[in-house]
A and B are shown apart, each in its own frame.
Chain A
């Protein structure tokens, strides 16, 4: 395996038999992420942005350096385009509530795709409900593709925002977000990209791609839970208002009224998750060091091995429209409920996800109630795919 990636994840030393195939839910944590966070508690703990002493100054420098790293990581113009949140969900809610809601009027509309995770569906549904606006759903075409042509037919001069995921967490579909962004740009409509499933291994170039808002989580790129990023382009940076107000984000406070700093500093009221952000920085360092093309090839090969391995098992039905490069493969086993599949695999120490994957509109559309999902990352090995296939065969024989 390239550069012994697996060896960089201590959980596999604690659980040598674990076959972890649920990286789309959360990726395992990198050794340097753990070390960085631990070291901050041991020797660096101080609050940021407010101390006149060395420890606080150092914490502030380290914290702000992560903003710079993340900007380089996704090719943003400046660290000022990068806000820290507690995850993708919060990032999207900030845009829905802090940017869109005050601009959304009755008769306006917002477009999301049928493939969205609830995190990129509910915030838009709620603001549309609150403002009397319409939520429009971009369907897949017959090949499972979200097309610019269909988007073009759905938007009009009252479309206030388009929100699309880069990779579907249920299907493993990679969506043509750059093409969709071109359509949005031609019409002057901002586009938000939910990059939760892609930001880890699929290099983003947010400036070049013309994205206005991009949201992703630290824990899906080998970093800590409770950390997330919201990228906002220069065009909209001054228009994003915070969900929380309090210490650390003010310009001036007066009993008659107060004023606040601009994005991204207005997002970080109160004491931020400093160790988490530093851990996120360590994850980003790692991702910028490794060959991410090789990493995508690696997960693709594993997904391909699973798809070809189950091709001869007639009871295994793959969900349609997957892209192997996503490393995500969803399937069902005939006459066996996904929970029972996952429960059986668990007894063989294989961790997969079963359920609706927070994509109820998509499953309704596909006329499914639940699926089993295997998702691969850089630490997985071909032998683990083989163990999954073997266990599925045993399950099918057992269940008869």
Chain B
């Protein structure tokens, strides 16, 4: 991938998804905290009610990725959610997107392969996985 292709992916997916994130709304519900102490990106993921929402601030990549997380997990049972998240985390960490992976998520894998930023891409996903594996743990 070259710079022009990266810019195309940003124009087609990352910028629209981050400028108008899916189910992006502040709520007063119980939440999962996704926080990166190195850069200050911080999102709250509201898990109590369907559909899940999230809110917070961060870079376009972390926000777009959190938004895609909302889309992916919508109306999915918790067991499947966990598998779906693990599948995506594996894909990002290995840099290999298989046919099972949603096309928009494969774009994130491609972007990670181009210029890293794995922490931005996986911020909300890892926080959500930690919550699903240990729901009683308080946020931060």
Contact = CB atoms under 8 A, between A and B. Distances in A.
Interface of A: 336-340, 343, 346-348, 354-356, 360, 363, 369-370, 398-399
Q: How large is the interface on B (under 10, 10 to 19, 20 to 34, 35 or more residues)?
A: 20 to 34
Contacts of A339: 39, 41, 58-59, 61-62, 117, 120
Contacts of A340: 59-61
B39 A356 contact: yes
A369 B115 contact: no
Nearest to B14: A340
B6 A338 contact: no
B34 to A, nearest CB: 14
Given A355-B38, A363-B40, A369-B40, A337 B7 contact: no
B13 interface: no
A163 to B, nearest CB: 22
A176 to B, nearest CB: 29
B3 A370 contact: no
B61 A370 contact: no
Nearest to B3: A347
A398 B40 contact: no
Contacts of A399: 15
Contacts of B37: 356, 360
Interface string B39-78: 1111000000000000001111110000000000000000
Contacts of A369: 40-42, 57
Top 5 nearest A-B pairs (CB, nearest first) are A339-B59, A337-B59, A369-B40, A355-B39, A347-B3
B115 A354 contact: no
Interface string B106-140: 00000000010100100000000000000000000
> In the complex, which of the residues A338, A343, A347, A354 has the most CB atoms of chain B within 10 Å of its own CB atom?
A343
A53 to B, nearest CB: 47
A341 to B, nearest CB: 9
Nearest to B10: A398
Given A337-B41, A337-B60, A369-B41, 20 more contacts: A336-B60, A338-B59, A339-B61, A339-B117, A340-B60, A343-B117, A346-B115, A347-B3, A347-B6, A354-B39, A355-B39, A355-B40, A356-B38, A356-B40, A360-B40, A363-B40, A369-B40, A369-B42, A369-B57, A370-B39
A337 B6 CA distance: 17
27 contacts: A337-B41, A337-B57, A337-B59, A337-B60, A339-B39, A339-B41, A339-B59, A339-B61, A339-B120, A340-B60, A343-B59, A343-B61, A343-B115, A347-B7, A347-B115, A348-B3, A354-B39, A355-B38, A356-B37, A356-B40, A360-B40, A363-B40, A369-B40, A369-B42, A370-B40, A398-B7, A398-B10
A386 B62 CA distance: 29
Interface of B: 3, 6-7, 10, 15, 37-42, 57-62, 115, 117, 120
Nearest to B60: A340
A340 B61 CA distance: 8
> In the complex, which of the residues A337, A348, A398 has the most CB atoms of chain B within 10 Å of its own CB atom?
A337
Given A363-B40, A398-B7, A337 B117 contact: no
Nearest to B42: A369
A370 B59 CA distance: 10
> In the complex, which of the residues B37, B41, B59 has the most CB atoms of chain A within 10 Å of its own CB atom?
B59
Contacts of A343: 59, 61, 115, 117
A360 B58 CA distance: 15
Contacts of A360: 37, 40
A203 to B, nearest CB: 33
B29 to A, nearest CB: 23
Contacts of B62: 339
Contacts of A336: 60
A173 B77 CA distance: 53
Contacts of B117: 339, 343
A338 B3 CA distance: 19
A340 B117 CA distance: 10
Contacts of B6: 347
Contact of B58 (A337, A356, A363): A337
B62 to A, nearest CB: 8
Contacts of B58: 337, 339
Contacts of A347: 3, 6-7, 115
A346 B115 CA distance: 8
A338 B41 CA distance: 10
Nearest to A369: B40
> In the complex, which of the residues A339, A348, A398 has the most CB atoms of chain B within 10 Å of its own CB atom?
A339
Contacts of B40: 355-356, 360, 363, 369-370
